[in-house]
């Protein structure tokens, strides 16, 4: 477990005031206050220690959310929005207690329009349900985080979630046309548009997408849909080592081939796939899962081109023969996060992004860090857009300082390659202290000013994204981290 700072909670009197204001505004049936009930809203899927809130609001409408925001503002306690709770960076963890607004009950798909190719949804819609509903109408909503059976669209919007198909189709932000949100004082606001085109005013919608629940709470989203791309063909390219697979990715980008997914799995993760019942040639030490879509003839042509590029280094290239084989492969891929968690007592999953031609360099860096610190690192992810999940695995809690050292070195390397700390999971609490490695102090300050405009008292999802003061001021367990945090990258 990494050690995250703890933050002061509301006093007992403030928490009591918040609970009674909430109960008065919403009625007791929508407000959970017992410690046991609150515990279910304490954590997410990251390494951030769970922290129980003082109360939970089970929102069933935008008006409920507005009432909750007003009550929390009046009591001056933190308020933290939560959708599916599947986040990977601590985004919905109420680290300073206060009130959690649970939006999972707001799970209506309000409209799917073929004529306009839009869907209007509430924040609690589970992504897989949205996919099914949209596909039943012959359309397509591309964002596909691997937690799609449990994550909800409100969280996807908060984190600007992506997934394997982002390589061809982009991330959640590319599909959000407009939002209805509630501000900290309870004001309900519509941003954006329903039309495909439109440049009126600042692009507040884009600012809100990916703001990690720190600026406003989403109550409704208007999403852009696209026509269903048609046939799909899935290939597995097997390589003798991970560097060869990384080189193949660069070659594909350079050749201009555009599959919808290019997923890389290194040796450690391949073992996890094998353990999930997918037979993979024992000689393979790395794999690329490649998927193309379009008209059948188009798929054939793209697959052939991919095969040619991979053939330089690949041991074998296989095409999934039917939907069952394809589903088995994707199920194994989508389960990698829990499967790798089972490989050690402690796991940390990063989601760094590097320019695609630096993927082999990043993989070499992980080997070097592993050799220096003894913290095992296995890597898989969305290599097509340079977004790799470097997973740190360890068994002994006493190794936490070495984990910090590994992370620090990894992030420095990524930034020096002109990469970025997070491609889809968000900064949250997990990477907050490393933000200064990538962003200059003036940019961080500008974002803090934006936060203050939306939330002058700092009540909405506090202590996320921005470096926490305690760690900035204190010397770090990692040699040199304090220097690096102030811009020595």
Structure token digits, residue 136: 């039943």
Confirm or reject binding of residue 262 to ligand MLT (CB under 6 A): no
Cα(150)–Cα(86) distance, rounded to whole angstroms? 7
Residue 288 binding ligand MLT, by CB under 6 A: no
- 287 touches 280 (CB < 8 A): yes
In the set 88, 173, 347, 408, which binds ligand MLT (CB under 6 A)? 88
Which residue, 67 or 425, has its beta carbon nearer to ligand MLT? 425
Would you say 219 or 337 has its CB closer to ligand MLT?
337
Name the DSSP class of 50: P
81 binds ligand MLT (CB under 6 A): no
Strands 79-82 and 99-102: parallel
| 172 sits near ligand MLT (criterion: CB under 6 A) | no
Question: At closest approach, how far in Å is the CB of 88 from ligand MLT?
Answer: 5
- Dist. CA 86–CA 441, nearest whole Å: 30
CB of 328 to ligand MLT, least distance (A): 16
Taking each continuous run of H as one helix and of E as one strand, the counts in the chain are 18, 19
Burial of 344 (0-12, 13-18, 19+ CB in 10 A): middle
- Among 35, 106, 125, 109, which residue's Cα sits nearest to residue 64? 106
**Which of 156/218 has CB closer to ligand MLT?**
156
Number of residues that bind ligand MLT (CB under 6 A): 9
Residue 314 CB, nearest approach to ligand MLT (Å): 23
Give strand pairing partners of 58: 102
The reply to whether 289 sits near ligand MLT by the rule CB under 6 A is no
Out of 85, 98, 381, 436, the only residue in the binding site for ligand MLT (CB under 6 A) is 381
Is 431 near ligand MLT (CB under 6 A)?
no
* Phi, psi dihedrals of residue 378, rounded to the nearest 5°: -120, 150
With CA atoms as reference, report the closest residue to 157 among 215, 77, 202. Answer: 215
Task: Give the SS3 label for residue 76.
Answer: coil
Q: Select 75 or 209, whichever has its Cβ closest to ligand MLT.
A: 209
CB nearer ligand MLT, residue 98 or residue 163: 163
CB of 443: closest distance to ligand MLT in angstroms? 26
Residue 90 touches ligand MLT, criterion: CB under 6 A: no
Specify the residue, 2 or 88, whose C-beta has the smaller distance to ligand MLT.
88
Distance of CA 449 to the CA centre of its chain: 24
The helix (H) or strand (E) run that includes residue 130 is helix 127-136
- Residue in 176, 112, 111 with CA at minimum distance from that of residue 142: 176
Which 334-373 residues touch ligand MLT, going by CB under 6 A? 336-337, 349, 351
**Mapping DSSP to helix (H, G, I), strand (E, B) and coil, where does residue 26 land?**
helix
Min dist CB 211 to ligand MLT, Å, is 19
Can residue 463 be called a binding residue for ligand MLT (CB under 6 A)? no
Q: Please report how close the Cβ of residue 381 comes to ligand MLT at its closest, in angstroms.
A: 6
Shortest separation between residue 265's beta carbon and ligand MLT, angstroms: 11
- Output 101 or 290, the one with its CB closest to ligand MLT: 290
Rounded Cα gap, residues 264 and 313, in angstroms: 15
Q: Does 171 bind ligand MLT (CB under 6 A)?
A: no
Is 73 a binder of ligand MLT (CB under 6 A)? Answer: no
Report the nearest approach of ligand MLT to the CB of residue 150 (Å).
12
Minimum distance of ligand MLT from residue 350's CB (angstroms): 8
Query: CA-CA distance, 20 to 81, in Å (whole number)?
Result: 19
- How far is Cα 181 from Cα 103, in angstroms, rounded to an integer? 12
Residue 191 engages ligand MLT in binding (rule: CB under 6 A): no
- Least separation, in Å, of the C-beta of 484 and ligand MLT? 24
- Return the DSSP state at 420: B
Both tokens assigned to 321: 């023969």
Contact status: 234 vs ligand MLT (CB under 6 A):
no
Spatial separation of the C-alpha atoms in residues 66 and 78, rounded to whole Å: 14
> Minimum distance between the CB of residue 202 and ligand MLT, rounded to whole angstroms?
30
Residue 379 makes contact with ligand MLT by CB under 6 A:
no
Which residue, 57, 78, 104, 112, is CA-closest to 8? Answer: 78
**Nearest distance in Å: CB 169, ligand MLT:** 15
Residue 481 makes contact with ligand MLT by CB under 6 A: no
Go through 406-417 and write b for each residue having 16 or more CB atoms within 10 A of its CB, e for each that does not: bbbbbbbbbbeb
Binding status of residue 429 toward ligand MLT by CB under 6 A: no
**Is residue 285 within the footprint of ligand MLT (CB under 6 A)?**
no
Task: Report d(CA 246, CA 214) in Å as an integer.
Answer: 36
Q: Binder to ligand MLT among 389, 431, 464, 481 (CB under 6 A)? A: 389
Strands 55-58, 99-102: parallel, antiparallel or unpaired by DSSP?
Answer: parallel
For residues 341 and 378, give the distance between their C-alpha atoms in angstroms, rounded to a whole number. Answer: 11
**Residue 146 binds ligand MLT, judged by CB under 6 A:** yes
165 contributes a contact to ligand MLT by CB under 6 A: no
Binding residues for ligand MLT, rule: CB under 6 A, are 88, 145-146, 336-337, 349, 351, 381, 389
């Amino acid at each position: 477990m990494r050690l995250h700072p703890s933050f002061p909670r509301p006093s007992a009197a403030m928490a009591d005031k918040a609970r009674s204001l909430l109960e008065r505004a919403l009625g007791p049936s929508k407000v959970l206050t017992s410690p046991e009930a609150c515990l279910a809203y304490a954590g997410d899927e990251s390494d951030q220690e769970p922290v129980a809130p003082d109360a939970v609001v089970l929102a069933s409408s935008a008006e409920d959310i507005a009432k909750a925001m007003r009550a929390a503002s009046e009591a001056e306690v933190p308020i933290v929005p939560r959708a599916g709770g599947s986040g990977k960076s601590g985004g919905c963890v109420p680290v300073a207690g206060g009130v959690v607004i649970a939006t999972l009950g707001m799970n209506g798909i309000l409209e799917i329009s073929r004529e306009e190719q839009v869907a209007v949804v509430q924040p609690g819609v589970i992504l897989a349900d949205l996919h099914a509903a949209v596909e039943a109408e012959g359309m397509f909503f591309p964002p596909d985080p691997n937690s799609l059976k449990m994550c909800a669209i409100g969280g996807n919007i908060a984190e600007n979630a992506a997934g394997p198909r982002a390589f061809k189709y982009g991330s959640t932000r590319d599909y959000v046309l407009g939002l209805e949100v509630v501000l900290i004082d309870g004001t309900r606001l519509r941003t954006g548009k329903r039309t495909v085109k439109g440049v009126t005013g600042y692009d507040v919608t884009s600012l809100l997408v990916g703001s990690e629940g720190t600026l406003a709470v989403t109550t409704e989203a208007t999403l852009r849909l696209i026509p269903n791309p048609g046939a799909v063909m899935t290939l597995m390219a097997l390589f003798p080592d991970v560097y060869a697979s990384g080189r193949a990715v660069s070659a594909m980008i350079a050749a201009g081939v555009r599959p919808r997914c290019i997923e890389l799995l290194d040796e450690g993760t391949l073992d996890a796939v094998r353990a999930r019942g997918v037979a993979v040639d024992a000689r393979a030490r790395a794999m690329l899962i490649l998927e193309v879509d379009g008209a059948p003839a188009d798929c054939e042509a793209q697959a052939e081109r991919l095969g040619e590029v991979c053939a330089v280094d690949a041991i074998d290239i296989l095409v999934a023969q039917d939907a069952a084989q394809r589903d088995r492969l994707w199920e194994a891929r989508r389960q990698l996060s829990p499967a790798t968690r089972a490989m050690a007592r402690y796991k940390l999953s990063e989601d760094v992004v590097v320019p695609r031609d630096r993927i082999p360099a990043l993989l070499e860096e992980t080997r070097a860090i592993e050799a220096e610190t003894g913290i095992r690192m296995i890597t898989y992810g969305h290599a097509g857009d340079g977004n790799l999940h470097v997973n740190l695995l360890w068994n002994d809690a006493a190794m936490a300082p070495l984990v910090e050292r590994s992370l620090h070195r990894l992030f420095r390397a990524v930034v020096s390659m002109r990469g970025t700390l997070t491609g889809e999971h968000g900064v949250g609490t997990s990477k907050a202290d490393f933000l200064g490695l990538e962003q200059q102090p003036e940019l961080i300050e500008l974002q803090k000013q934006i936060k203050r405009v939306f939330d002058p008292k700092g009540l909405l999802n506090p202590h996320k994204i921005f470096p926490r003061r305690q760690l900035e001021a204190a010397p770090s367990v990692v040699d040199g981290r304090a220097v690096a945090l102030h811009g020595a990258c």
